[in-house]
């Protein structure tokens, strides 16, 4: 299954499950320092925006070096906790559908082009060694894996469907 189809499938399967979570549980913070389920979903919105930007920037550059971002600051500044859970769910769905559409429009040659010029050791959830082979497919896979990691924190008994990491040996 390609990345855009997989991302759309995850979103489509998750929306009814997210909508079943009572607003009080979605809003509850385990502690002052920990994010609520709503804030975790907000973090996934920020991640989608950042990774969409990274994928789009890759079209204009010869490397895969991208900026990171201050996750806690973004979640606080975007005030996901102060928004309705329907607003956060709707935004999460829309930005991931938009990201999936963008992924679908990019040629596979570009997505699969290997390079050692990347900073995935700094920005990836599953960091790979600096100077090792990587491609845009790996970045997208890592985003989807990150997405499902957090969905399993939000949705009771969430079952991941993401496939294994792309082969970077070719």
Look up the pTM and report it. Answer: 0.95
The CATH number of the domain where 113 resides is what? 1.20.120.450
**168 in a domain, yes or no?**
no
Domain extent, residue 111, equals: 3-21+35-154
How many independent structural domains does the chain possess? 1
In-domain check, residue 148: yes
Is residue 30 in some structural domain? no
- Angle value at C-alpha 91, between 89 and 93, nearest 5 degrees: 70
Q: 122 in helix, strand or coil? A: helix
Within 13 A of 3's CA, how many CA atoms are on the CB side?
A: 29
User: Half-sphere exposure (CA, 13 Å, Cβ side) for 17?
Assistant: 16
Per-position pLDDT tens, the chain of length 170: 799 999 999 999 999 999 999 999 999 999 999 999 999 999 999 999 999 999 999 999 999 999 999 999 999 999 999 999 999 999 999 999 999 999 999 999 999 999 999 999 999 998 899 999 999 999 999 999 999 999 999 999 999 987 777 777 65
């Amino acid at each position: 299954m390609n990345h855009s189809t997989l991302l759309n499938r995850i979103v489509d399967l998750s929306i009814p499950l997210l909508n079943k979570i009572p607003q009080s549980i979605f809003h509850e913070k385990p502690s002052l320092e920990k994010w609520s389920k709503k804030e975790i979903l907000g973090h996934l919105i920020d991640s989608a925006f950042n990774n969409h930007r990274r994928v789009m920037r890759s079209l204009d550059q010869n490397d895969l070096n991208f900026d990171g971002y201050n996750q806690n600051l973004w979640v606080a500044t975007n005030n996901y906790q102060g928004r309705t859970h329907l607003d956060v769910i709707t935004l999460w769905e829309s930005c991931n559908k938009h990201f999936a559409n963008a992924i679908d429009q990019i040629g596979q040659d570009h997505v699969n082009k290997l390079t050692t010029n990347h900073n995935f050791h700094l920005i990836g959830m599953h960091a790979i060694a600096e100077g090792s082979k990587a491609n845009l497919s790996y970045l997208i896979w890592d985003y989807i894996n990150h997405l499902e990691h957090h969905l399993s924190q939000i949705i009771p008994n969430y079952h991941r469907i993401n496939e294994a990491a792309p082969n970077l040996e070719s």
